[in-house]
Amino acid sequence: MAADTESKLQLVHRHIRAFPDFPKKGILFRDICPILKDPAALTAVIDLFEEHVRKNHPQVDLIIGLDARGFLFGPLLAQRLGVGFVMIRKKGKLPGTTVSVSYDLEYGKAEAEIQEDAVAPGQKILLIDDLLATGGTLHAACELMRKQQAEVLGCMVVIELKELNGIDKLKPHSLFSLVQY
Cβ neighbors of 14 (< 8 A, separation 6 or more) are 41
Name residues whose C-beta falls within 8 Å of residue 116's C-beta, 6 or more positions apart in sequence: 96, 97, 98, 99
- 89 included as an active-site residue: no
Report the candidate in 39, 41, 43, 40 with the shortest Cα–Cα distance to residue 16.
41
> Which CATH number characterizes residue 117's domain?
3.40.50.2020
Q: For this structure, is 106 an active site residue? A: yes
- For range 48-65, the mean pLDDT: 98
- Helices (runs of H) and strands (runs of E) counted in the chain: 6, 9
Distances in Å between the Cα of 126 and the Cα atoms of 3, 22, 41, 56 are 26, 30, 22, 11
Q: What is the mean pLDDT of residues 48-75?
A: 98
Residue (of 19, 14, 11, 23) closest to 106 by Cα position: 23
Whether residue 49 is predicted with pLDDT greater than 90 in this model: the reply is yes
Cα 53 from Cα 13, distance rounded (Å): 20
**pLDDT band at residue 2 under the 50/70/90 scheme:** confident
Q: What is the mean pLDDT of residues 144-155?
A: 98
For residue 154, the model assigns a pLDDT of 98
Active-site pick, 69, 80, 111, 143: 69
Distance separating alpha carbons of residues 142 and 131, to the nearest angstrom: 15
Pick from 145, 149, 153, 176: which is nearest to 59 by CA?
A: 153
Of the candidates 160, 164, 163, which has an alpha carbon nearest to the alpha carbon of residue 180? 160
Backbone phi and psi for residue 95, each to the nearest 5 degrees, phi listed first: -80, 165
Determine the pLDDT at residue 90.
96
Residue 68 belongs to what domain range?
3-180
Rounded Cα distance, 93 and 39, in Å? 29
Assign 108 a pLDDT band (cuts: 50, 70, 90): confident
Radius of gyration over every alpha carbon of the chain, rounded to an integer in angstroms: 16
Task: Report the share of the chain in percent with pLDDT over 70.
Answer: 99
User: Model-level pTM?
Assistant: 0.96
Q: Into how many domains does the chain fold?
A: 1
Per-residue pLDDT of 111-138, as tens digits, reads: 999 999 999 999 999 999 999 999 999 9
